[in-house]
Structure 1
Amino acid sequence: MGTDESPNQASINRSENSSRPDKARSGAPAAGEAVGDRFSTDEIFQRVVATADEEVDSRTIKLYLSGLAAGFAITLTFFLYATTKAAFPNDTTGLLAPLLYPLGFVYIIMGRYQLYTENTLTPVTLVLTRVASIPSLLRVWVSVLAGNLSGAIVGTFVLANTGVFSLAAAGAAVTIGFDGIQTPWWDLVFKAMFAGWLVAGLVWLEHAVRDSISRVVLVYLVIYAIPASGLYHIVVSSADVFYLVFTGNVALATGLWEFVVPVLLGNTIGGVFLVTIINYGQTQNRFPESEGPRERLTLSDWLFKQRVSKPRE
């Protein structure tokens, strides 16, 4: 005789299996436990941690090249923003020029490129739980930001020295850059804080959705809000400055200090403090249950060494 299950037992087994949330290879949940298509705060955090693990394990050159690709994509955002602004010169609402601004960010997030402002959330989660060291975080930040800025430099150099921009769009690009530089230093910091809050919050929400269409809509709406409300993003702002430098409108040191530095500071504060730490504080089960325990780094290792603690089998 065979050992086939009875119909009732098979039905029970199928019911039990269907009630268990799916798991990704990393152990992070692929479906919510209470409601399949919605994640709890802990489950979202676990998905963020899985992404963070991948990032801190990446080689420096890989982070840089991924950041470089993101810098090129941001050049697309800069180009489209200036072009659309030139197309609607009489728009007093400021709502038409940003219509194509989010496109570069869609490329970045859907293509899984590395963007500095995204990294104010994901690897910071591992540092807060003290399974990754601060130097490991700084390595990721420096590598990604260097790649982002390199891509923006190359892209804006091409725009400044070729005929890609129309005359009207080139004038609009200069206006955008000067508007930023002429904004008071601390106003830029606070504007950038809100932008950093939006982008890091976007990364958190992006880990809470499960289909591509929802991601695209989410990215578009959140990123559109940045230029539409007069906020500033570090890589786009850097592209503004580099374009002004390449067209001879401003000195590099002036552009960096008056625009790039306050925006970088504000984005970092907004992403780390307004999103990451708050979300961290409301979670309890921060690692997938399928993982083994992770050893917390010693204070010395956490502060001074390139260390990442891995799950024990």
Structure 2
Amino acid sequence: MTDDAPDGDGLKAADAKTLHRTVRESGEDELRRPAMQLFWSALAAGIAISVSLLTEAALHAALPDAPWRELVSGLGYPVGFMAVILGRMQLFTESTITAMLPLVTRPSRWALARTLRLWSIVLVANLLGTALAGLAIATGAMGSDAIRHAALAISAGITELSAGRTFVNAIPAGFMIAILAWALPNARSQSVAVIFIFTYILTIAGFSHSIVGSSEAFLLLFAGQTGVVQTLAGLIAPAVLGNLVGGAGIFAVLAHAQVRGEPPQGEEQ
């Protein structure tokens, strides 16, 4: 039994190192992508992620007013994530871990500048996409009246939290999406199930995801139920910062700590 333990530990260390390298190399590729490629991919992601709200609203509208309605309508929440992640689109919360690993592995001004550039482009384009989708839902251009009313009812929930509580509530969401991005290279044929499980837990637990939440925030804004300052400073900004702390902060540090002290691939002695 004692002879088997080192091999088991070695296998775990190798798995962690392999995952770290895979996610880091993906992040390095993203850091090198041209700005316009990042923008259009992130814009598409912002529009596509809004399918989560639409699917939730469609289920909500079709279900009776019962205590279990939110649990069932929440089954629609993962749909937008599946479209974005499986479609290889740029999602801000997913890039918090992938872009952070190259920076913490090989700290440099170039890596810092490229990380900030990536986050800025992707975040702005994601929000522009969700704003367009929110406007389309609010004006009736997308979905029926029943779906629009259901989407407004679902979205109203984000106004129940203060900016401070939204920030704290967004930290576990950023952490969980970072875990998702970390786990997907190993998921292979189980990718759909992994995405579904993580994102469904996200919605039934009521955690704040900045990009899906921005779809709801912009819908409320364009429907005249919130103001510009409340939407940007009270609803979206705290969620963005909380997701960053959970993903690029807490999880990235923990993930990198597993292989800290080992040279990056290609630099072994």
Counterpart AA for 1:155: A
1:16 corresponds in structure 2 to: none
Correspondence 1:130-145 to 2 at 5 A: 130-131=107-108, 132-145=110-123
Contact 2:140 2:148 in 1 (8 A): no
Matched, 1:246 2:231: no
Look up the equivalent residue of 2:181 and give its one-letter code: V
Show the 5 A alignment for 1:200-215.
Answer: 200-209=178-187, 211=188, 213-215=189-191
**Distance in 1 between the 2:263 and 2:248 partners?**
17
**Alignment identity in percent?**
27
Are positions 1:224 and 2:200 aligned together? yes
Computing the radius of gyration from Cα coordinates, the structure with the larger value is 1
Matched, 1:125 2:101: yes
Shift of 1:165: 2.8
2:125 is aligned to 147
Aligned-partner Cα distance in 2 for 1:278–1:51:
18
Q: Which residue of 2 aligns with 1:59?
A: 34
Q: Secondary structure at the match of 1:95?
A: helix
- 1:172 maps to what in 2? 150
Residue 97 of structure 2 contacts residue 251 of structure 2 at CA under 8 Å; is this kept in 1?
Answer: yes
The structural deviation recorded for 1:292 is: 4.8
Q: How many residues align?
A: 255
Normalized per residue, which structure has more helix? Answer: 2
Counterpart for residue 74 of structure 1: 49
Q: Structure 2 counterpart of 1:83, which letter?
A: A
Distance 1:279 1:105 in 2: 22
Q: Name the counterpart of 1:11.
A: none
Counterpart of 1:7 in structure 2 is: none
Distance in 1 (alpha carbons) for counterparts of 2:263 and 2:219 = 43
- CA–CA separation in structure 2 for the residues paired with 1:138 and 1:177: 30
Question: Counterpart of 2:88 in 1: which secondary structure?
Answer: coil
**Distance in 1 of aligned mates of 2:264 and 2:79:** 33
Q: 2:76 aligns with which of 93, 100, 121?
A: 100
Give the Å deviation of 1:273.
Answer: 2.2
**Alignment deviations for residues 79-136 of structure 1 (CA, whole Å, 9 cap, x no partner):** 1122222223423243111111111111111111110001110110111121553221
CA contact (8 A) 1:75 1:152 kept: yes
One-letter identity of the residue aligned with 1:215: S
Find 1:256's aligned residue among 221, 227, 232: 232
Gaps of 5+ in 1: 1-32, 294-313
Aligned alpha-carbon RMSD (Å): 2.0
Name the structure 2 match of 1:110: 86
TM-score (ref. length: structure 2)? 0.88
Aligned-partner Cα distance in 2 for 1:50–1:223? 24
Summarize deviations over 1:160-219 as a string: whole Å, max 9, x none: 22353333322222222222122122221121111111101100011223x2x3111100
Secondary structure class of the residue paired with 2:71:
coil
Question: 1: distance between equivalents of 2:124 and 2:67?
Answer: 36
Closer, same or farther: CA 197–89 of 1 in aligned 2, 3 Å: farther
| Equivalence for 2:138 | 160
Query: Cα deviations across residues 50-86 of structure 1 (Å, max 9, x unaligned)?
Result: 1011100001111111101111111111211222222
Residues 286 and 124 of structure 1: CA distance in aligned 2, closer, same or farther (over 3 Å): farther
Contact 2:53 2:76 in 1 (8 A): no
TM-score, structure 1 normalization: 0.76
Letter in 2 for 1:52: G
Q: Find out whether 1:287 has 2:260 as its counterpart.
A: no
CA pair 286-246 structure 1, distance change in 2 beyond 3 A: farther
